[in-house]
């Protein structure tokens, strides 16, 4: 039986994400699709420390995991929507088992597949991604529904990982940013940032 769950409280993503992420330069950022991609693109202005996926739903978690293993002295943040995480649930088990201390996951859950037409996701029918993350071995797993929790979430993202922060947001729009869709260019910019030889303007 499909059970529709009405959230007790949800946030405006345009307010929540900037407060929770804070200074994006604290992280190497890997980001999924749809509204979350716009959230991060607007926050970072596609700075050199951010790699935002296009057209590859479900790829952000494992890319961030690999990056965390390859860059153990850098704090890695994966930002992804609920649809993105649902498409790669096995990734949570892998992350929980290997437990990289420098990996944090920010899941922006609006209960919609924003990339494909706002169809309802399973989180709108009772699936609890925070509980799945915790059950996968990610000991620091929290759900954020109120502005009073922003500080706690921001500190968790910068703490010892792995960390899973689920932010429940409404179905309203994300901030908009005119993204670059040149994947090769974005890859090279991000690679230079990793190697420490990126020009000051990020190009």
* Inside any domain, residue 140: yes
pLDDT at 14 over 70: yes
What digits encode the pLDDT tens for the residues 78-116?
999 999 999 999 999 999 999 999 999 999 999 887 666
Closest Cα partner for 85 from 164, 1, 172, 190?
164
* Inside any domain, residue 8: no
Rounded distance, CA 112 to CA 33, Å? 12
Beta bridge partners of 106: 79, 165
* Inside any domain, residue 178: yes
* Inside any domain, residue 7: no
* Inside any domain, residue 117: yes
* Inside any domain, residue 3: no
- Copy the structure tokens of residue 191: 């690679």
pLDDT averaged over every residue in the chain: 87
Q: How many domains does the chain have?
A: 1
State the average pLDDT over residues 139-154. Answer: 96
- pLDDT for position 4: 45
Rounded distance, CA 85 to CA 105, Å? 10
pLDDT at 200 over 70: no
* Inside any domain, residue 99: yes
- Copy the structure tokens of residue 184: 């090769």
Instruction: State pTM to two decimals.
Output: 0.87
- pLDDT for position 203: 45
Rounded distance, CA 27 to CA 63, Å? 14
How far CA 178 is from CA of 17, 40, 53, 107, in Å, comes to: 18, 12, 14, 22
What digits encode the pLDDT tens for the residues 164-198?
999 999 877 677 767 776 777 888 888 888 887 65
CATH of the domain at 160: 3.40.50.970
* Inside any domain, residue 144: yes
Tell me the residue range of the domain where 58 lies. Answer: 13-195
Of residues 131 and 198, more confidence is placed in: 131
């Amino acid at each position: 039986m499909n059970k529709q769950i009405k959230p007790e409280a949800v946030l405006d993503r345009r307010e929540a994400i900037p407060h929770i992420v804070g200074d994006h330069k604290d992280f190497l950022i890997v980001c999924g699709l749809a509204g979350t991609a716009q959230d991060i693109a607007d926050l970072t202005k596609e700075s050199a420390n951010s790699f935002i996926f296009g057209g590859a739903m479900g790829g952000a978690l494992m890319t961030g995991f690999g990056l965390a293993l390859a860059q153990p002295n850098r704090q890695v943040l994966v930002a992804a929507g609920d649809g993105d995480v649902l498409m790669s649930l096995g990734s949570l088990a892998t992350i929980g088992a290997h437990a990289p201390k420098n990996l944090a996951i920010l899941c922006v859950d609006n209960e919609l597949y924003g990339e494909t037409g706002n169809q309802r996701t399973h989180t709108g029918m009772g699936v609890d991604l925070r509980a799945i993350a915790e059950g996968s071995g990610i000991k620091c797993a929290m759900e954020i529904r109120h502005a009073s929790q922003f500080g706690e979430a921001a500190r968790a993202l910068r703490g010892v990982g792995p960390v899973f922060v689920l932010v429940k947001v409404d179905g309203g729009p994300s901030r908009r940013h005119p993204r670059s869709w040149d994947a090769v260019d974005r890859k090279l910019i991000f690679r230079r940032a990793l190697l420490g030889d990126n020009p000051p303007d990020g190009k």
